[in-house]
Amino acid sequence: MEQAVLAQLLTGADVSFYEEKLSEDNVNLAKDAEIISVFVNSEISKDIIDALPNLKFIATRSTGFDHIDIDYCGTKRIKVSNVPAYGSYTVAEFAFALLLNLSRKIYGAYHNLREGADFNIFSLQGFDLKGKTIGVIGTGKIGKNVVKIAKGFSMNVLAFDPYPDMNFAKENNFEYKSLAEIVSQSDVITLHAPYTKENYHLINKENISKMKKGVYLINTARGELVDTDALILGLKEGIIAGAGLDVLEGERELKEEIEILSFPEKAERIKDYKTLLEDRVLIDMPNVIVTPHIAFYSKEAEEEIIKMTADNIKGFISNVPINLVK
């Protein structure tokens, strides 16, 4: 669908489509391109940029742009655009899909029944969301929708954001608190903040040690917001009762792991084998649900992404660029 719709929206442009992500191995496919459009699994490094001598514009089909060397693009006068808002309902709904799976042990129940025809319910007691305190970190469009859904479950809502929307808080009857207060008072913590240098390991060993014992952590934002080593320690010590993760620290490298098994010469590209190993540990933990970065992936959200990406490209071609991040 994506290819057909983009081709229709970009009528008149010379457009080529490739299913594989852009990498150093296939960058030659785009060697003459003035514009490229990528997703988060394509790491646009200095070396890739240098291999594209005609490149003038990068349109990423995502809100985040940490997969692109933005500073180096600036030195080469390459413009970069993103899709600043899409799937705000989609991702918020998925956060609760993860939370409900954890709170009611749905995956475990299904696994027991399917694998062993086990109808024993005594290990499957869950808990109600009603009356629990949820800490929402980041109240952009997605975080705001999470607040509204939480209110629908009769949860108590606390939120942290460096730029609080006090009118929204008043309208929806919740309080903004400091990060330390969110960490110590919440039964559930859900992350909806962007990944920036300042937010790297926002959830770390120090603040995990101050969390309520039995807290649940949901992350549908960026893997790098959470210190993986500290998360595993928190889970093993029982501070964190469970985690729902649609993103993992170093997930781009994790997705390349199958390539490493097939082509060992690529192994030198992996930056942090320790994180890869820790990701594997998380995936195997019974109180952790990991999904492959699909929170954004609904029919409606994909339509938003495609349209905005096409608008960004057409804007650049007509010298009226929109949604520029650089």
Sign of the CA dihedral running 145, 151, 155, 159: positive
DSSP secondary structure, 18-84, as one string: -SSPP-TTTGGGGTT-SEEEE-TTS-B-HHHHHT-TT--EEEESSS--TTB-HHHHHHTT-EEE---
How far is the CA of 326 from the CAs of 25, 49, 57, in angstroms? 26, 15, 10
Catalytic residue among 43, 222, 224, 278: 222
Q: Which residue(s) pair with 240 in the sheet?
A: 215
Amino acid at 274: K
Please indicate whether residue 253 is annotated as part of the active site. no
Asked whether 66 and 195 are in contact (CB, 8 A), the reply is yes
**What's the rounded Cα separation, in Å, for the pair 155 and 161?**
19
Query: Six-digit token pair at 2?
Result: 């994506």
* Residue 42, C-beta contacts closer than 8 angstroms, at least 6 positions apart: 21, 22, 23, 67
**What's the rounded Cα separation, in Å, for the pair 227 and 208?**
10
SS3 310: helix
Catalytic residue among 251, 253, 256, 278: 251
Return the percent helix, strand and coil in the chain, to nearest 5.
45, 15, 45
Q: What is the arrangement of strands in the sheet containing 188-191, beginning at the earlier edge strand?
A: 175-176, 156-160, 133-137, 188-191, 215-219, 240-245, 288-290
Q: What's CA 44's distance to the chain center, in Å?
A: 18
User: What secondary structure letter does DSSP report for 219?
Assistant: E
Please indicate whether residue 206 is annotated as part of the active site. no
Please indicate whether residue 61 is annotated as part of the active site. no
Catalytic residue among 61, 67, 192, 293: 293
Q: List the catalytic residues.
A: 222, 251, 293
